[in-house]
Amino acid sequence: MIECSEIKKSYIVGGAEMQVLHGVTFTIRTGEFVAIMGPSGSGKSTLMNIIGCLDSPSGGSYALDGQDVSLLCDDELADIRNSNIGFVFQSFNLLRRADVLRNVALPLVYAGMERHEREKRAKDALGSAAFPEEFWHHLPNQLSGGMMQRVAIARALVNNPLLILADEPTGNLDTKTGEAVLDTFQRLNMKEGRTIVLITHERYVAEHAQRIIHIRDGAIVEDSSVKNRRIADNHHDETK
């Protein structure tokens, strides 16, 4: 699914070149759940932007599902993002005046899909994200943080993307609610075979994945499977 080879990224700051990524190489197979973990300033956010086709590397190559995307133009990267990647962010990014169904269906509006099909796909995605039907017509300010994040997960699923990319998805949630969200990601991976890349600075969160890529100072310092994987409790109250 993902092939990164000698990925480098640098920026010009104050007239000087600042190297952020130093030849990062790894692969992620279809159906894997991988956490990329590192402290602030480690380069994990820069790497996430490249994996998510939000930025391009300064050197090296990046292939997504066999397509080399490292040299694509901005419009081509946007097409890849819209069709192949579902994003889940820490801040939810929901439209305040739109109900749950409309928020989830929004990417399909941009794709020009008819209303009937949009609603069907949105309902299917909400089901996959374990979001209770009785809240489908609520506004975001009527939901808990955990429920808003499940709406964001459903929105990421609605286009049936190749990859789900989650950036600190539990960062704004308490521990119990965060555990329920991680349960949702695990279920999507284990039961639906979704490929998930989760960005985090917390080892506890990373240990819910199958594998952890640990990055520090722009380089991979460890890449290992999770031997004592944390399996989230499947019996959380879905309304939390």
Residue 238 pLDDT exceeds 60: no
What is the residue-averaged pLDDT of the chain? 91
- pLDDT band for position 82 (cuts 50, 70, 90): confident
**Residue 48 domain-assigned (yes or no):** yes
Distance between CA atoms of residues 94 and 102, nearest Å? 10
Write 226-234 long-range contacts (CB < 8 A, 24+): 230/182, 230/204, 231/186, 232/179, 232/180, 232/182, 232/183, 232/186, 232/208, 233/179, 233/180, 233/183, 234/183, 234/187
Structurally, how many domains does the chain consist of? 1
Distance between CA atoms of residues 122 and 106, nearest Å? 9
- pLDDT band for position 110 (cuts 50, 70, 90): confident
Percent of the chain clearing pLDDT 70 (strictly above): 96
Distance between CA atoms of residues 71 and 165, nearest Å? 20
pTM of the full structure: 0.89
**Residue 179 domain-assigned (yes or no):** yes
Distance between CA atoms of residues 60 and 168, nearest Å? 26
pLDDT tens digits, one per residue of 137-195: 999 999 999 999 999 999 999 999 999 999 999 988 888 889 989 999 999 999 999 99
Q: Give the structural domain span for 154.
A: 30-58+78-225
**Residue 209 domain-assigned (yes or no):** yes
- Looking at per-residue pLDDT, the higher value among 111 and 45 belongs to 45
- pLDDT band for position 233 (cuts 50, 70, 90): low
**Residue 9 domain-assigned (yes or no):** no
**Residue 140 domain-assigned (yes or no):** yes
**Residue 118 domain-assigned (yes or no):** yes
- The predicted pLDDT at position 73 comes to 87
Residue 44 pLDDT exceeds 70: yes
CATH number of the domain bearing residue 179: 3.40.50.300
By the 10 Å C-beta count (0-12 exposed, 13-18 middle, 19+ buried), 81 is classed as middle
Any idea what the Cα angle at residue 177 is, between residues 173 and 179, rounded to 5°?
105
**Residue 172 domain-assigned (yes or no):** yes
- Looking at per-residue pLDDT, the higher value among 239 and 31 belongs to 31
**Residue 192 domain-assigned (yes or no):** yes
Mean pLDDT of 23-29: 97
**Which two structure tokens, joined as six digits, stand for 127?**
């089901």
